Amino acid sequence: MIYNISMVYLVDDDVDDLDIMKEALYAHSYKGPVSSAANGKMLLDKLSSHKETPDVIVMDLNMPVKNGFETLKEIKANSTLKDIPVIILTASSNKMDEARCYELGCDYYYNKPMSISDYVPLVQMIKRFIAA
């Protein structure tokens, strides 16, 4: 199945992680555009300057300027953005971080995989949010 959507936003300060995630999406039949931001401030600035909103945001927690926690809190407090699914993709396996993300309103918490094949469950989750 091919998914054509407005966009997926990837938010991470690590360019290699952004590239791997894009590769995983396109390797699993995603054909839509992917936008990216290096931190939460950049994402929020981009979202406020566009008329179109993404179908899914995939975001790291540990970023400079505005981290994932702060960004998630602002997204979920914004009446225009609050319904956008947010997937946290992080190297943190700290259960407190995971619990805090769910309390702040994230829709899915996923630890960064070690190989591209380990991204399959994450890509499937993104596709479920897109299809909803």
Map out the domains of the chain with their CATH numbers: 8-131 (3.40.50.2300)
Cα–Cα–Cα angle for 118, 57, 102, rounded to 5 degrees: 80
The predicted pLDDT at position 43 comes to: 93
Q: What is the pLDDT of residue 49?
A: 81
Angle at the Cα of 84 (from 80 to 86), degrees rounded to 5? 135
Q: What CA–CA distance (Å, rounded) separates 129 from 132?
A: 5
The reported pLDDT for the residue numbered 12 is 94
**Helix, strand, or coil (residue 8):** strand
Candidates 38, 46, 57, 64; CA nearest to 104 is 57
How much is the pLDDT for 5? 47
Average pLDDT of the segment spanning 101-125: 86
Q: What is the pTM of this model?
A: 0.87
CA-wise closest residue to 38 among 79, 80, 71: 71
* pLDDT tens digits, 63-92: 999 999 999 999 999 988 999 999 999 988
pLDDT (tens digit per residue) in 37-50? 999 999 999 998 87
Least-confidence region, from 79-83, 103-107, 119-123: 119-123
